[in-house]
Amino acid sequence: MALIDPDEGRYSEGSREMLVLKDYVIPHLNFKPRINKPGLFYWLTVISYKAFGINEFSARFPSALFGLILILGTYLWTHKEIGERKAYLSSLILLGTPAIFIASRIAITDIVFTSFVIFSLFSFWSSHKNKRLAILGYFFLGLSLATKGPAGFVIVILTLVVFSLWKRDKIYILRALNPWGILIFLIVGGLWYLALLNKIGWLEFKHFVFQETWGRLGEGFVHRKSLYYYLPLVIGGFLPWSIFLLGFRKLDLKDNLIKFLVTFTLVTLFFFSICKTKLPTYILPIFPALAVIDANIMDRYWGTRRKEILFFLLFMALGAILIPLSFPSRLLKLVDITALYKLSAFILLISLPFIFLIRFRLKRQFIYLFSVFFSIYFYLILNFAGPFSVYRSTKKLFAGHEIDADVIYALRFFKPSLVFYSKKKIHEIDNLSEFKQGYLIIKKKDIEDVRKRLTKPFQIISETDKYLLIKTGEI
Q: What is the DSSP code string of 79-131? A: HHHH-HHHHHHHHHHHHT-HHHHHHTTSSSSHHHHHHHHHHHHHHHHHTTT-T
CA 68 to centroid of chain Cα atoms: 14
Category of 168 on φ-ψ map: left (φ > 0), alpha (ψ -120 to 50) or beta:
left
For the CA atoms of 47, 51, 55, 61, what is the dihedral angle to 10 degrees? -70
Residue 223 carries which side chain, given as an amino acid letter? H
Q: Which residues make Cβ contacts (< 8 Å) with residue 202, sequence separation at least 6?
A: none
> Per the structure, how many domains does the chain have?
3
Of the listed ranges 48-57, 76-85, 278-287, 357-366, the one predicted with least confidence: 357-366
Mean pLDDT of 95-104: 88
Q: For 32-60, what is each residue's pLDDT tens digit?
A: 998 888 999 999 999 999 999 999 999 99
Omega of the bond prior to 240 within 30 degrees of 0, cis? yes
Q: Is 309 found in the same domain as 199?
A: no
| Highest mean pLDDT (candidates 126-130, 246-250, 297-301, 352-356) | 126-130
Phi, psi of 425 (to 5 degrees): -75, 135
**Helix/strand/coil (H, E, C) string of 393-445?**
CCHHHHCCCCCCCCEEEEECCCCHHHHHHHCCEEEEECCHHHCCCCEEEEEHH
Is residue 1 situated within a structural domain?
A: no
**DSSP 8-state secondary structure symbol assigned to residue 330:** G
Instruction: For residues 406 and 284, state if they share a domain.
Output: no
Of residues 50 and 256, the one with the higher pLDDT is: 50
Strands 407-411 and 439-443: parallel
Q: Tell me the pLDDT of the chain averaged across its residues.
A: 83
Domain boundary among 393, 409, 436: 393
Range of the domain at 422: 396-472
What distance in Å separates the CA atoms of residue 110 and residue 152, rounded to the nearest whole number? 11
Mean pLDDT score, 280-300: 90
Q: Which residues are CB-neighbours of 361 under 8 A, at least 6 positions away? A: 302, 303, 304, 305
Does some domain include residue 219? yes
**Domain stop point among 393, 410, 428:** 393
Does 250 share its domain with 215?
Answer: yes
Q: Are 103 and 244 in a shared domain? A: yes
- Are residues 105 and 49 both part of a single domain? yes
- Check if the beta carbon of residue 203 is closer than 8 Å to that of residue 209: no
51 and 82 belong to one structural domain: yes
CA neighbor of 185 nearest in space, from 120, 108, 243, 242: 120
Residue 319 — very low, low, confident or very high, per pLDDT cuts 50/70/90? low
Return the closest-CA partner of residue 108 out of 54, 51, 60, 151.
60
Please name the helix (run of DSSP H) or strand (run of DSSP E) that holds residue 472, with its range, or none: strand 467-472
Instruction: Check whether 124 has a pLDDT greater than 90.
Output: yes
* The pLDDT of residue 475: 45
Cα 172 to the center of its chain, rounded Å: 29
Q: Are residues 382 and 419 in the same domain?
A: no
For residues 438 and 407, the answer to whether their CB atoms sit within 8 Å is: yes
Q: Are residues 193 and 228 in the same domain?
A: yes
* Crossing angle for the helix pair 286-301 and 84-95, to the nearest 10 degrees: 130
Residues 284 and 421 grouped into a single domain: no
* Within a domain: 353: yes
- Asked if 206 and 239 sit in the same domain, the reply is yes
pLDDT greater at residue 75 or residue 328? 75
Contact at 8 Å (CB) between 16 and 54?
yes
> What mean pLDDT comes out for the span 360-389?
67
Residue 468 to residue 447: CA distance in whole angstroms: 8
User: What pLDDT is attached to residue 391?
Assistant: 63
CATH of the domain at 401: 3.40.190
* Max Cα distance, the chain (Å): 78
Whether residues 424 and 277 share a domain: the answer is: no
| Domain annotation covers residue 138 | yes
Helix (H) or strand (E) holding 471: strand 467-472
pLDDT band, residue 30 (cuts 50/70/90): very high
DSSP string, 243-284: GGGGGGGG--TTSHHHHHHHHHHHHHHHHHHHSSB--GGGGT
2 inside domain: no
Q: What percent of the chain has pLDDT over 70?
A: 78
Please, are residues 85 and 130 in contact by the beta-carbon 8 Å criterion? no
Same domain (yes/no): 129, 241:
yes
Report the distance separating Cα 470 and Cα 70, nearest Å. Answer: 45
- Among 363, 393, 423, the domain boundary falls at 393
Reduced to 3 states, what is the DSSP secondary structure of residue 462?
strand
Residue 431 pLDDT: 87
Task: Report d(CA 126, CA 143) in Å as an integer.
Answer: 19
**428 backbone dihedrals φ, ψ, rounded to 5°:** -80, 130
